[in-house]
A = this chain, B = another copy of it.
């Protein structure tokens, strides 16, 4: 069930249902930022959305929220099309999403993330949210979970075997491939030089662009294909389903 394409009585019924996933919701969360010469600017929010919606297609008991499509990508700002929130804004927005969803009775909020640069801010946001309960000496009536889609059990190993060389850290062939499978009409090609991009630390936007002139880090996106993308999706979908089921079943200690 996709929240955005449901009516409120449908969500109401879902929340009151006996489904093991009734009060669990998946929030695809990512970023809109450069992904090298050929990667879509939307790559990092499209990937978790593609995987979450594929999982929902396979198992309608999964509830999927609208996609949180702008995250923390300040380091990509020297490349046009990047849109970023400050970490503090991002954290406040995550807090408001959680306040909204838990207000309705969702007890497990599962953020399926598509952008490594989001991780620190999301975890800090979780701590900010929990802190209110911790200071107040009360038990939080919900659980929050962050899962990067590539960290779904088995996925990273699968991608590494698929791309033993040139996977890299940004504009990776695996994320490019997932978007190619999802949006085959938007596949772009270019010559890459060097074939495998350099690696290095991440700081501000100027520093980033000087280190990584075409935006990639350590990757060869030319290895991507829609077929490989579909294989990754097929690997990720049951892993997500299982992960959600386990999360929903988790007991408070």
Contacts and interface: CB of A to CB of B under 8 A. Distances in A.
Interface of A: 3-12, 15, 32, 34-42, 45-46, 65-70, 72, 74-75, 77-89, 91-93, 95-97, 99-101, 103-105, 117, 119-121, 123-125, 127-128, 130-131, 133-135, 137-140, 143-144, 183, 186, 188, 190, 200, 203-207, 210-211, 215, 252-253
A3 B73 CA distance: 15
Contact of A91 (B10, B87, B200, B253): B87
B87 A89 contact: no
B70 A130 contact: no
Contacts of A253: 200, 207, 210-211
Given A7-B188, A67-B69, A207-B253, A87 B139 contact: no
A8 B82 contact: yes
Nearest to A130: B204
A34 B46 contact: no
How many chain copies does the complex carry? 6
20 contacts: A5-B41, A8-B80, A9-B37, A65-B83, A66-B69, A68-B70, A70-B93, A77-B103, A85-B93, A85-B96, A87-B128, A89-B92, A99-B135, A119-B120, A120-B127, A130-B203, A134-B206, A137-B206, A210-B252, A211-B253
A124 B4 CA distance: 25
A135 to B, nearest CB: 5
B7 A91 contact: no
A190 B104 CA distance: 22
A93 B89 contact: yes
Nearest to A38: B7
A83 B69 contact: no
A150 to B, nearest CB: 19
A119 to B, nearest CB: 7
The listed residue with most B CB atoms (<10 A of its CB), out of A40, A103, A131, A252, is A131
Contact of A77 (B77, B89, B135): B135
A253 B209 CA distance: 9
A4 B40 contact: yes
B46 A4 contact: yes
A41 B7 contact: yes
Nearest to A81: B11
A207 B127 CA distance: 13
Nearest to A250: B201
